[in-house]
Amino acid sequence: MKLLKCIFWAGVLCFVSSPDICAQKLSIFKKKKPALQSTYTKDTIWINEITRNATKLVRMDPDSNIVLLYSALTKSNETGYFKGTGDACLHLGTSYFFKFHYDSAEHYYNKAFEVYSSISDHRGMARSQHGLSYIYSVRSEINISLQHMLLSKKYHEEADDINGQYDCIGSLIYLYKNLNNNKEVERYMNELITLAQKLNDDKKLSNSYIQLGNHLMNQSHLRQAIEAYFKALGIAEKSNYPDGMADALGSIGLSYLYLQEFDNTISYYMKQEKILKELKKENELSNTYNSLGQAYLAIKKYDAGLDYFFKSLTLRKKMQYKPGISGSLHNIGFTYYLMEDSLDLALKYAYESLETDKEIENNAGIANNYMLLGKIFYLKKNLSRAMEFLEKSIAIANEYHETDVIHKTSGVLSKLYAETKSFEKAYNYYLLHNQIGDSLINRENLKRITQLEMQHEFDKKQNEISLEHLQDNLRYETQVKRSKLARNYSVLVGFIMVVFGLFIYYSFRKSQKANKEKEALLKEIHHRVKNNLQVISSLLNMQSGAIIDDGTKAVVKESQSRVKSMALIHQMLYQSEMFTCIDFTKYLEQLMSSLMGTYKQPGKNIRYLIHAGRVTLDIDTAIPLGLITNELATNALKYAFIDSAEGQIDFSISKTSERAYKFVISDNGKGLPENFDLNKSDTLGLKLVKILTRQIAGKIDLVSNAGTTVIISFEDDLKKV
> What CATH number did the domain enclosing 662 receive?
3.30.565.10
Residue 549 lies in a domain: yes
690/708 same-domain check: yes
pLDDT of residue 701: 87
Task: Kindly state the helix (H) or strand (E) to which residue 41 belongs, with its residue range.
Answer: none
607/714 same-domain check: yes
Residues of the chain with pLDDT under 70: 1-40, 55-56, 58-60, 219, 437-535, 537-546, 557, 561-562, 564-580, 717-721
559/614 same-domain check: no
715/619 same-domain check: yes
Q: Which of 579, 609, 644 is the last residue of a domain?
A: 579
561/671 same-domain check: no
Task: Please state, in angstroms and rounded to a whole number, the distance separating the CA atoms of residues 512 and 451.
Answer: 14
492/588 same-domain check: no
Residue 394 lies in a domain: no
Residue 516 lies in a domain: yes
Residue of 618, 626, 532, 624 lying closest to 587 (CA atoms): 626
pLDDT of residue 506: 60
547/617 same-domain check: no
Task: Please state, in angstroms and rounded to a whole number, the distance separating the CA atoms of residues 188 and 595.
Answer: 47
pLDDT of residue 493: 56
Task: Please state, in angstroms and rounded to a whole number, the distance separating the CA atoms of residues 71 and 485.
Answer: 98
Whether the Cβ atoms of residue 385 and residue 351 lie closer than 8 Å to each other: no
Pairing of strands 708-715, 660-667: antiparallel
Under DSSP, the state recorded for 640 is I
Per-residue CA distances from 15 to 65, 70, 71, 74, 523 (Å): 14, 10, 7, 10, 69
Give the CB-side neighbour count of residue 452, counting CA atoms within 13 A.
19
Under DSSP, the state recorded for 70 is H
Task: Please state, in angstroms and rounded to a whole number, the distance separating the CA atoms of residues 20 and 38.
Answer: 16
685/570 same-domain check: no
Residue 241 lies in a domain: no
CA geometry: angle 495, 496, 500, nearest 5 deg: 120
Task: Kindly state the helix (H) or strand (E) to which residue 618 belongs, with its residue range.
Answer: strand 616-618
510/626 same-domain check: no
Q: What φ, ψ does residue 369 adopt, rounded to 5°? A: -70, -35
- DSSP letters of 433-464? HHHHHHHHHHHHHHHHHHHHHHHHHHHHHHHH
Region of 215 please: left (phi>0), alpha (psi -120 to 50) or beta. Answer: alpha
Q: Which of 540, 560, 579 is the last residue of a domain?
A: 579
Residue of 130, 204, 218 lying closest to 174 (CA atoms): 218
Whether the Cβ atoms of residue 596 and residue 608 lie closer than 8 Å to each other: yes
Instruction: Kindly report the three-state secondary structure assignment for every residue of 262-314.
Output: HHHHHHHHHHHHHHHHHHCCHHHHHHHHHHHHHHHHHCCCHHHHHHHHHHHHH
466 Cβ contact list (under 8 Å, min separation 6): 502, 506
Residue 400 lies in a domain: no
Task: Please state, in angstroms and rounded to a whole number, the distance separating the CA atoms of residues 280 and 286.
Answer: 11
Residue 555 lies in a domain: yes
Task: Please state, in angstroms and rounded to a whole number, the distance separating the CA atoms of residues 243 and 232.
Answer: 11
Q: Please give the residue range of the domain that contains residue 685.
A: 581-720
Q: What's the number of domains the chain is made of?
A: 2
Q: Which of 517, 548, 579 is the last residue of a domain?
A: 579
Residue 640 lies in a domain: yes
Residue of 597, 600, 572, 596 lying closest to 586 (CA atoms): 572
Residue 542 lies in a domain: yes
Whether the Cβ atoms of residue 245 and residue 279 lie closer than 8 Å to each other: no
CA 92 to chain centre: 33
pLDDT tens digits for range 41-71:
777 787 787 777 776 676 667 777 788 888 8
Beta bridge partners of 696: none
709/653 same-domain check: yes
586/654 same-domain check: yes
pLDDT of residue 501: 62
pLDDT of residue 133: 92
Residue of 699, 718, 710, 535 lying closest to 632 (CA atoms): 710
Task: Please state, in angstroms and rounded to a whole number, the distance separating the CA atoms of residues 353 and 351.
Answer: 5
Whether the Cβ atoms of residue 521 and residue 529 lie closer than 8 Å to each other: no
Residue of 164, 175, 174 lying closest to 141 (CA atoms): 175
pLDDT of residue 307: 94
Whether the Cβ atoms of residue 269 and residue 292 lie closer than 8 Å to each other: yes
Please count the other Cβ atoms lying within 10 Å of the Cβ belonging to residue 171: 20
Whether the Cβ atoms of residue 557 and residue 501 lie closer than 8 Å to each other: no
563/645 same-domain check: no
